[in-house]
Amino acid sequence: MKSDYELKKATKNDEKRSKQIREGKYIFVQKDEKGRCEIIENHLYKELRDIAPKQQDKVINKLLRINKFCNINYLPKKLEVREIEKEIMKKQEEEMEVIKKEWTKTHDFLELEFKVLDKLVIGLGTTSVFETSILLHHIYGIPYIPGQAIKGVIRNYILLKEFSENQDEKEVDNKDEKSDDEKKKTLEEKAFENDNFRYIFGASKKKDDNQKNPDKNQGNLIFFDAFPKDKYKIEKDVVTPHYGDYYGEENEAPTDDMQPNPINFLVVKDATFKVYIGIKKNTNKEIRTYIEKYFIEAFEYVGIGAKTSLGYGFMQVENLKKSIQNINRGES
């Protein structure tokens, strides 16, 4: 009968026994009945490889299951939400209620529920052992939308909607009347001149010969991570590049005899996310209305996450009542 694994420093004799072992490095050994040591190389990987096919269905954390226990190609077509995950989502909602109560003297909260219209994929290009990835919470293993992603989508939408050169016909008609300096201004430089934009997102201190931007200050909104309300599905989707040699280093002409290369990736479906934004109490009604308007438009018209140009990531407002109540509490 063999003993449990033991950790020890490798000797010169151990180094001679295996090309992968170096003297002084720690190795795992296992003793047999006669006390002789057998070197166990990559013992952890061997154990995972042996138990993964049998145990993956019992692994609750989907992030662990996808990255450690299973190849994405061998996952089932759908990963349904489990009861313990429903409890986690309920707990997250309770935690937000606690935060709202603790901050009630300093902040109001804009609450909106957004339903994913078709598919959502966030974190498609993040580091992964596979060709593609999906963002799941590193502890809970459930899909979520990071607060910085929500802030980035709204901020970018406001930049394009409010400060783009060709935002309306009037600006297009008067384009030639603008000075050269005004034409050279970036969208952000224009945005930093806007009081509402600076109040919401803050501004950095920059010095320019023709312009003095406001001193560095923080924004007055807090964007929280958004979790599914009560259910979701993770499904496999596929993208199939047909002209790999054309896009690759070979740079060959795209022809019909090239080999298609199907690539699996994971998407979130049938989910409703509850999104919270904290707004300081002294924020006036004009800015509150401004925030809600672009908040909703960004999610409905632009979408969030990857592949939005193909229809992924678009959402529809499910609950607007609470947000209107919060905005009406502000003083104009």
Say yes or no: 15 and 155 in one domain: no
| Helices assigned H by DSSP within the chain | 12-17, 43-55, 62-64, 83-102, 147-163, 169-173, 180-184, 187-191, 195-201, 244-247, 285-297, 321-328
The answer to whether residue 176 sits within a structural domain is: no
The answer to whether residue 172 sits within a structural domain is: no
Say yes or no: 35 and 112 in one domain: no
Tokens of 80: 């349904």
Cα–Cα distance for residue pair 305/145, rounded to 1 Å: 9
Task: Identify the CA nearest to 318 among candidates 94, 116, 97, 110.
Answer: 116
Task: Identify the CA nearest to 198 among candidates 158, 153, 146.
Answer: 158
Say yes or no: 48 and 129 in one domain: no
Residue 170: per-residue pLDDT: 43
- The parent domain of residue 36 ranges over 6-58
pLDDT digit string (tens) for 4-37?
A: 556 566 677 766 666 556 666 655 666 677 767 6
Say yes or no: 130 and 37 in one domain: no
Say yes or no: 18 and 99 in one domain: no
Say yes or no: 21 and 154 in one domain: no
Say yes or no: 13 and 154 in one domain: no
Residue 60: per-residue pLDDT: 67
- CB 227 within 8 Å of CB 271: no
Say yes or no: 233 and 126 in one domain: yes
Q: What is residue 123's three-state secondary structure?
A: coil
Residue 219: per-residue pLDDT: 84
Query: Looking at residue 178, what DSSP letter applies?
Result: S
Say yes or no: 101 and 129 in one domain: yes
Low-confidence ranges of the chain (pLDDT < 70): 1-10, 14-31, 35, 37-60, 68-71, 73-74, 129, 165-185, 204-216, 250, 320-332
Residue 176: per-residue pLDDT: 52
The answer to whether residue 260 sits within a structural domain is: yes
The answer to whether residue 314 sits within a structural domain is: yes
The answer to whether residue 70 sits within a structural domain is: no
Residue 89: per-residue pLDDT: 92
The answer to whether residue 125 sits within a structural domain is: yes
- CB 277 within 8 Å of CB 291: yes
Residue 213: per-residue pLDDT: 44
Count of domains for the chain: 2
Say yes or no: 97 and 34 in one domain: no
The answer to whether residue 242 sits within a structural domain is: yes
Say yes or no: 115 and 53 in one domain: no
The answer to whether residue 49 sits within a structural domain is: yes
- CB 316 within 8 Å of CB 117: yes
Say yes or no: 142 and 252 in one domain: yes
147-163 helix and 285-297 helix, angle to the nearest 10 degrees: 100
Task: Identify the CA nearest to 291 among candidates 105, 148, 157.
Answer: 157
